[in-house]
Amino acid sequence: MLVRDTFLRPCCPKAVPGLRRRALIVGAGAAGLAASLPRGAGAADARSLVIGSKSDTEGAILGHLIAGVLEGMGLPVERRLGLGPTLIVRSALLSGELDLYPEYTGNVAFFSGTETDPAWKAGETAYAAARRLDGARGLVWLGRAPADNTWCIAVNGALARAEALASMADFARAVRADRIRLAASTEFVESPAALPAFEAAYGFRLPSARIVSLPGGDTAVTARAAAENISGINAGMVYGTDGALSALDLVVMSDPQRAQIVYEPAPVIRAPILERHPAIPAALDPLFAALDAATLRRLNAEVAVEGRTAEAVAAAWLGPRAAAR
Protein backbone atom coordinates (compact mmCIF):
# COMPACT_ATOMS: atom_id res chain seq x y z
CA MET A 1 0.00 0.00 0.00
CA LEU A 2 1.31 3.44 -0.93
CA VAL A 3 0.25 6.41 1.15
CA ARG A 4 1.34 9.96 1.68
CA ASP A 5 2.90 10.88 4.98
CA THR A 6 3.97 14.25 6.25
CA PHE A 7 7.54 15.39 6.73
CA LEU A 8 9.48 12.16 6.14
CA ARG A 9 13.16 12.52 6.97
CA PRO A 10 15.71 11.15 4.49
CA CYS A 11 16.11 8.49 3.32
CA CYS A 12 13.17 6.89 1.55
CA PRO A 13 13.08 3.82 -0.73
CA LYS A 14 13.33 4.18 -4.47
CA ALA A 15 10.11 5.49 -5.96
CA VAL A 16 7.71 2.98 -7.45
CA PRO A 17 4.76 3.60 -9.80
CA GLY A 18 1.97 5.28 -7.85
CA LEU A 19 2.01 7.77 -5.04
CA ARG A 20 3.97 7.37 -1.84
CA ARG A 21 4.51 10.52 0.19
CA ARG A 22 7.44 10.31 2.58
CA ALA A 23 6.92 6.80 4.01
CA LEU A 24 6.31 3.20 2.95
CA ILE A 25 5.21 0.49 5.37
CA VAL A 26 3.59 -2.79 4.38
CA GLY A 27 0.07 -2.87 5.78
CA ALA A 28 0.41 -6.14 7.63
CA GLY A 29 3.63 -5.04 9.27
CA ALA A 30 2.06 -1.75 10.28
CA ALA A 31 -0.88 -3.55 11.82
CA GLY A 32 1.46 -5.77 13.78
CA LEU A 33 3.44 -2.80 15.04
CA ALA A 34 0.28 -0.96 16.01
CA ALA A 35 -0.99 -3.98 17.89
CA SER A 36 2.26 -4.13 19.84
CA LEU A 37 2.05 -0.51 21.01
CA PRO A 38 1.69 -0.44 24.81
CA ARG A 39 -1.38 1.27 26.17
CA GLY A 40 -0.97 3.69 29.05
CA ALA A 41 -3.03 3.78 32.20
CA GLY A 42 -5.22 6.51 30.76
CA ALA A 43 -5.99 4.41 27.70
CA ALA A 44 -7.09 1.55 29.89
CA ASP A 45 -9.71 3.82 31.39
CA ALA A 46 -12.78 3.58 29.16
CA ARG A 47 -13.57 7.20 29.93
CA SER A 48 -10.23 8.45 28.56
CA LEU A 49 -9.82 9.54 24.97
CA VAL A 50 -6.55 8.43 23.39
CA ILE A 51 -5.37 11.05 20.89
CA GLY A 52 -2.67 10.09 18.40
CA SER A 53 -0.71 11.78 15.66
CA LYS A 54 1.97 11.05 13.10
CA SER A 55 5.62 11.84 13.73
CA ASP A 56 5.78 15.23 12.03
CA THR A 57 5.50 18.85 13.09
CA GLU A 58 2.02 19.49 11.75
CA GLY A 59 0.67 16.23 13.11
CA ALA A 60 1.95 17.10 16.58
CA ILE A 61 0.42 20.59 16.45
CA LEU A 62 -2.95 19.25 15.30
CA GLY A 63 -2.85 16.50 17.93
CA HIS A 64 -2.18 19.00 20.70
CA LEU A 65 -4.95 21.28 19.40
CA ILE A 66 -7.45 18.41 19.45
CA ALA A 67 -6.35 17.32 22.92
CA GLY A 68 -6.54 20.87 24.24
CA VAL A 69 -10.09 21.36 23.02
CA LEU A 70 -11.27 18.06 24.45
CA GLU A 71 -9.63 18.79 27.78
CA GLY A 72 -11.39 22.14 27.73
CA MET A 73 -14.65 20.19 27.47
CA GLY A 74 -13.73 18.40 30.70
CA LEU A 75 -12.89 15.11 28.96
CA PRO A 76 -9.90 13.09 30.21
CA VAL A 77 -7.35 12.75 27.43
CA GLU A 78 -4.23 10.68 26.89
CA ARG A 79 -1.85 12.20 24.31
CA ARG A 80 0.02 9.61 22.26
CA LEU A 81 1.50 11.92 19.67
CA GLY A 82 4.34 11.25 17.25
CA LEU A 83 3.60 7.53 16.96
CA GLY A 84 5.04 7.13 13.46
CA PRO A 85 4.04 7.25 9.79
CA THR A 86 0.53 7.00 8.44
CA LEU A 87 0.01 3.25 8.41
CA ILE A 88 1.20 2.83 12.01
CA VAL A 89 -1.24 5.46 13.27
CA ARG A 90 -4.06 4.35 10.97
CA SER A 91 -3.70 0.73 12.12
CA ALA A 92 -3.72 1.85 15.76
CA LEU A 93 -7.00 3.68 15.16
CA LEU A 94 -8.62 0.73 13.39
CA SER A 95 -7.50 -1.67 16.14
CA GLY A 96 -8.87 0.55 18.91
CA GLU A 97 -5.45 1.51 20.31
CA LEU A 98 -6.31 5.11 19.42
CA ASP A 99 -9.68 6.86 19.54
CA LEU A 100 -8.94 9.91 17.41
CA TYR A 101 -6.15 11.40 15.28
CA PRO A 102 -5.71 14.00 12.50
CA GLU A 103 -5.58 12.54 8.98
CA TYR A 104 -5.53 13.97 5.44
CA THR A 105 -8.39 13.39 3.02
CA GLY A 106 -6.21 12.33 0.10
CA ASN A 107 -4.71 9.41 2.00
CA VAL A 108 -8.07 7.64 1.89
CA ALA A 109 -7.64 7.46 -1.88
CA PHE A 110 -4.74 5.09 -1.29
CA PHE A 111 -6.29 3.26 1.64
CA SER A 112 -9.20 2.44 -0.69
CA GLY A 113 -7.33 1.97 -3.98
CA THR A 114 -9.37 4.73 -5.66
CA GLU A 115 -6.54 7.20 -6.30
CA THR A 116 -7.40 7.59 -10.01
CA ASP A 117 -10.90 8.86 -9.18
CA PRO A 118 -11.08 12.59 -10.07
CA ALA A 119 -13.13 13.16 -6.92
CA TRP A 120 -9.85 13.37 -5.00
CA LYS A 121 -8.80 16.50 -6.92
CA ALA A 122 -11.30 18.85 -5.21
CA GLY A 123 -11.82 19.58 -1.52
CA GLU A 124 -15.56 18.96 -1.26
CA THR A 125 -15.63 15.73 -3.23
CA ALA A 126 -12.45 14.39 -1.61
CA TYR A 127 -13.90 15.00 1.83
CA ALA A 128 -17.21 13.37 0.85
CA ALA A 129 -15.37 10.34 -0.51
CA ALA A 130 -13.21 10.04 2.62
CA ARG A 131 -16.29 10.18 4.86
CA ARG A 132 -18.14 7.58 2.80
CA LEU A 133 -15.29 5.11 2.42
CA ASP A 134 -14.10 5.33 6.01
CA GLY A 135 -17.65 5.21 7.31
CA ALA A 136 -17.77 1.62 6.15
CA ARG A 137 -14.79 0.96 8.43
CA GLY A 138 -16.45 2.44 11.51
CA LEU A 139 -14.55 5.72 11.28
CA VAL A 140 -16.08 9.19 11.22
CA TRP A 141 -14.46 12.24 9.63
CA LEU A 142 -15.17 15.45 11.52
CA GLY A 143 -14.94 18.92 9.96
CA ARG A 144 -11.88 19.50 7.77
CA ALA A 145 -9.46 22.42 7.66
CA PRO A 146 -9.46 24.60 4.49
CA ALA A 147 -5.71 23.97 4.03
CA ASP A 148 -4.38 21.70 1.31
CA ASN A 149 -1.08 20.08 2.33
CA THR A 150 -0.49 18.66 -1.11
CA TRP A 151 2.63 18.55 -3.26
CA CYS A 152 3.53 21.98 -4.62
CA ILE A 153 6.36 23.76 -6.38
CA ALA A 154 7.76 26.93 -4.84
CA VAL A 155 9.91 29.44 -6.69
CA ASN A 156 12.63 31.74 -5.41
CA GLY A 157 10.89 34.99 -4.43
CA ALA A 158 13.13 37.29 -6.48
CA LEU A 159 12.59 35.24 -9.63
CA ALA A 160 8.84 34.97 -9.02
CA ARG A 161 8.53 38.75 -8.70
CA ALA A 162 10.75 39.46 -11.71
CA GLU A 163 8.90 36.99 -13.96
CA ALA A 164 5.38 37.43 -12.47
CA LEU A 165 5.17 33.76 -11.48
CA ALA A 166 2.16 32.90 -9.35
CA SER A 167 0.57 29.76 -10.82
CA MET A 168 1.68 26.52 -12.43
CA ALA A 169 0.67 28.03 -15.78
CA ASP A 170 3.22 30.79 -15.12
CA PHE A 171 5.73 28.16 -14.03
CA ALA A 172 5.17 26.30 -17.31
CA ARG A 173 5.94 29.53 -19.19
CA ALA A 174 9.18 29.92 -17.25
CA VAL A 175 10.12 26.30 -17.98
CA ARG A 176 9.59 26.85 -21.70
CA ALA A 177 11.81 29.94 -21.45
CA ASP A 178 14.52 27.77 -19.83
CA ARG A 179 14.41 29.78 -16.59
CA ILE A 180 13.79 26.95 -14.10
CA ARG A 181 16.13 24.60 -12.27
CA LEU A 182 14.21 22.39 -9.82
CA ALA A 183 15.26 20.51 -6.70
CA ALA A 184 12.94 17.63 -5.82
CA SER A 185 12.86 14.13 -4.45
CA THR A 186 13.27 11.20 -6.81
CA GLU A 187 9.74 10.20 -5.88
CA PHE A 188 8.34 13.59 -6.88
CA VAL A 189 10.14 13.42 -10.23
CA GLU A 190 9.15 9.83 -11.05
CA SER A 191 5.69 9.34 -9.54
CA PRO A 192 2.94 9.80 -12.15
CA ALA A 193 0.90 11.67 -9.54
CA ALA A 194 3.56 14.33 -8.87
CA LEU A 195 5.73 16.24 -11.39
CA PRO A 196 4.39 14.28 -14.40
CA ALA A 197 0.85 15.23 -13.36
CA PHE A 198 1.85 18.91 -13.31
CA GLU A 199 3.52 18.54 -16.72
CA ALA A 200 0.45 16.90 -18.25
CA ALA A 201 -1.97 19.45 -16.79
CA TYR A 202 0.02 22.53 -17.82
CA GLY A 203 1.62 21.41 -21.07
CA PHE A 204 5.31 21.54 -20.27
CA ARG A 205 8.20 19.18 -19.77
CA LEU A 206 11.09 19.98 -17.49
CA PRO A 207 14.25 18.35 -18.94
CA SER A 208 16.11 16.05 -16.60
CA ALA A 209 19.20 18.22 -17.02
CA ARG A 210 17.27 21.01 -15.25
CA ILE A 211 16.33 18.81 -12.26
CA VAL A 212 18.41 18.03 -9.20
CA SER A 213 16.86 14.78 -7.96
CA LEU A 214 17.40 13.90 -4.29
CA PRO A 215 16.93 10.45 -2.69
CA GLY A 216 15.01 11.77 0.34
CA GLY A 217 11.70 13.59 0.72
CA ASP A 218 12.77 16.35 3.10
CA THR A 219 11.33 19.62 1.81
CA ALA A 220 13.62 21.59 4.13
CA VAL A 221 16.44 20.67 1.74
CA THR A 222 14.62 21.42 -1.51
CA ALA A 223 13.12 24.66 -0.20
CA ARG A 224 16.43 26.01 1.07
CA ALA A 225 18.16 25.12 -2.20
CA ALA A 226 15.57 27.18 -4.11
CA ALA A 227 15.71 30.08 -1.65
CA GLU A 228 19.51 30.31 -1.71
CA ASN A 229 20.05 29.50 -5.42
CA ILE A 230 22.31 26.62 -4.47
CA SER A 231 23.93 25.27 -7.66
CA GLY A 232 21.63 27.53 -9.67
CA ILE A 233 18.45 25.99 -8.24
CA ASN A 234 15.53 28.43 -8.16
CA ALA A 235 12.51 26.15 -7.60
CA GLY A 236 11.84 23.40 -5.11
CA MET A 237 9.37 20.68 -4.23
CA VAL A 238 7.40 21.72 -1.12
CA TYR A 239 4.16 20.89 0.65
CA GLY A 240 1.27 23.29 0.88
CA THR A 241 1.51 24.08 4.59
CA ASP A 242 5.30 23.91 5.08
CA GLY A 243 6.33 26.29 7.82
CA ALA A 244 9.48 27.78 6.30
CA LEU A 245 7.98 29.06 3.05
CA SER A 246 7.54 32.70 4.00
CA ALA A 247 10.73 32.80 6.07
CA LEU A 248 12.68 31.66 3.01
CA ASP A 249 10.92 34.10 0.64
CA LEU A 250 9.50 31.40 -1.60
CA VAL A 251 6.36 31.78 -3.71
CA VAL A 252 4.15 28.69 -3.95
CA MET A 253 2.72 28.16 -7.43
CA SER A 254 -1.05 27.73 -7.34
CA ASP A 255 -2.64 24.75 -9.12
CA PRO A 256 -5.82 26.00 -10.85
CA GLN A 257 -6.03 22.86 -13.03
CA ARG A 258 -6.11 20.66 -9.90
CA ALA A 259 -3.30 18.40 -11.00
CA GLN A 260 -2.74 17.14 -7.45
CA ILE A 261 -4.87 15.15 -5.03
CA VAL A 262 -6.22 17.28 -2.17
CA TYR A 263 -4.85 16.68 1.33
CA GLU A 264 -6.94 18.60 3.84
CA PRO A 265 -6.54 17.61 7.52
CA ALA A 266 -9.43 16.63 9.76
CA PRO A 267 -9.92 14.64 12.98
CA VAL A 268 -10.93 11.03 12.37
CA ILE A 269 -12.70 9.34 15.27
CA ARG A 270 -13.97 5.83 15.91
CA ALA A 271 -17.77 5.72 15.65
CA PRO A 272 -18.35 4.18 19.13
CA ILE A 273 -16.34 6.99 20.71
CA LEU A 274 -18.41 9.60 18.89
CA GLU A 275 -21.60 7.91 20.05
CA ARG A 276 -20.31 8.14 23.61
CA HIS A 277 -19.30 11.81 23.22
CA PRO A 278 -21.69 13.40 20.67
CA ALA A 279 -20.61 16.96 21.61
CA ILE A 280 -17.12 16.50 20.14
CA PRO A 281 -17.91 17.68 16.56
CA ALA A 282 -19.42 20.95 17.80
CA ALA A 283 -16.16 21.63 19.65
CA LEU A 284 -13.64 20.51 17.01
CA ASP A 285 -15.34 21.60 13.77
CA PRO A 286 -14.92 25.37 14.39
CA LEU A 287 -11.30 24.78 15.38
CA PHE A 288 -10.44 23.08 12.09
CA ALA A 289 -12.51 25.55 10.07
CA ALA A 290 -10.15 28.27 11.33
CA LEU A 291 -7.01 26.42 10.22
CA ASP A 292 -6.51 27.78 6.72
CA ALA A 293 -3.21 27.34 4.85
CA ALA A 294 -1.74 30.63 6.06
CA THR A 295 -2.52 29.76 9.67
CA LEU A 296 -1.02 26.28 9.46
CA ARG A 297 2.09 27.63 7.77
CA ARG A 298 2.48 30.15 10.57
CA LEU A 299 2.00 27.54 13.30
CA ASN A 300 4.42 25.15 11.59
CA ALA A 301 6.95 27.98 11.26
CA GLU A 302 6.80 28.66 14.99
CA VAL A 303 8.11 25.14 15.50
CA ALA A 304 10.36 24.70 12.44
CA VAL A 305 11.83 28.21 12.31
CA GLU A 306 11.49 29.63 15.82
CA GLY A 307 12.20 26.38 17.67
CA ARG A 308 9.13 26.36 19.92
CA THR A 309 7.49 23.09 20.93
CA ALA A 310 4.35 21.93 19.17
CA GLU A 311 2.55 21.78 22.52
CA ALA A 312 3.41 25.40 23.34
CA VAL A 313 2.39 26.60 19.87
CA ALA A 314 -0.96 24.80 20.08
CA ALA A 315 -1.66 26.09 23.59
CA ALA A 316 -0.88 29.69 22.62
CA TRP A 317 -3.13 29.54 19.56
CA LEU A 318 -5.96 27.97 21.53
CA GLY A 319 -5.73 30.48 24.37
CA PRO A 320 -7.77 33.38 22.91
CA ARG A 321 -10.29 30.96 21.41
CA ALA A 322 -10.80 29.17 24.71
CA ALA A 323 -11.34 32.50 26.45
CA ALA A 324 -13.94 33.49 23.85
CA ARG A 325 -16.03 30.38 24.38
Whether residue 173 sits in one domain with residue 271: no
Please check whether residue 257 lies inside any domain of the structure.
no
Whether residue 164 sits in one domain with residue 121: no
Please check whether residue 23 lies inside any domain of the structure.
yes
Whether residue 193 sits in one domain with residue 283: no
pLDDT at 43: 38
- State how beta strands 182-185 and 235-239 pair: parallel
Whether residue 107 sits in one domain with residue 14: yes
Phi/psi of residue 155, nearest 5 degrees:
-115, 145
Please check whether residue 310 lies inside any domain of the structure.
yes
Q: How far apart are CA 321 and CA 158, in angstroms?
A: 37
Cα dihedral 137, 142, 146, 148 sign: negative
Please check whether residue 109 lies inside any domain of the structure.
yes
Whether residue 235 sits in one domain with residue 284: no
Instruction: Provide the 10 A C-beta neighbour count for residue 203.
Output: 11
Final residue belonging to a domain, choices 196, 228, 252? 252
For 67, the domain range is 3-148+263-324
Whether residue 26 sits in one domain with residue 132: yes
Q: How far apart are CA 6 and CA 104, in angstroms?
A: 10
pLDDT, tens only, 148-169: 999 999 999 999 999 999 999 9
Whether residue 174 sits in one domain with residue 143: no
- CATH assignment at residue 206: 3.40.190.120
CB 146 within 8 A of CB 123: yes
Whether residue 99 sits in one domain with residue 121: yes
Instruction: Provide the 10 A C-beta neighbour count for residue 249.
Output: 14
CA atoms within 13 A on the CB side of 131: 12
Whether residue 278 sits in one domain with residue 230: no
Q: How far apart are CA 82 and CA 59, in angstroms?
A: 7
CB 183 within 8 A of CB 212: yes
Residue 36: which H helix or E strand, with range? helix 27-36
pLDDT at 191: 87
Q: How far apart are CA 236 and CA 28, in angstroms?
A: 34
Whether residue 144 sits in one domain with residue 133: yes
Whether residue 166 sits in one domain with residue 101: no
pTM score, whole prediction: 0.82
**What radius of gyration do the chain's Cα atoms show?**
20
Regions of the chain where pLDDT drops below 50: 1-2, 6-45
pLDDT at 244: 87
Q: Domains in the chain: how many in total?
A: 2
pLDDT at 294: 92
250: which residues sit within 8 A by CB, 6+ positions away?
154, 155, 156, 157, 223, 226, 227, 236, 238
pLDDT at 322: 63
Final residue belonging to a domain, choices 205, 233, 252? 252
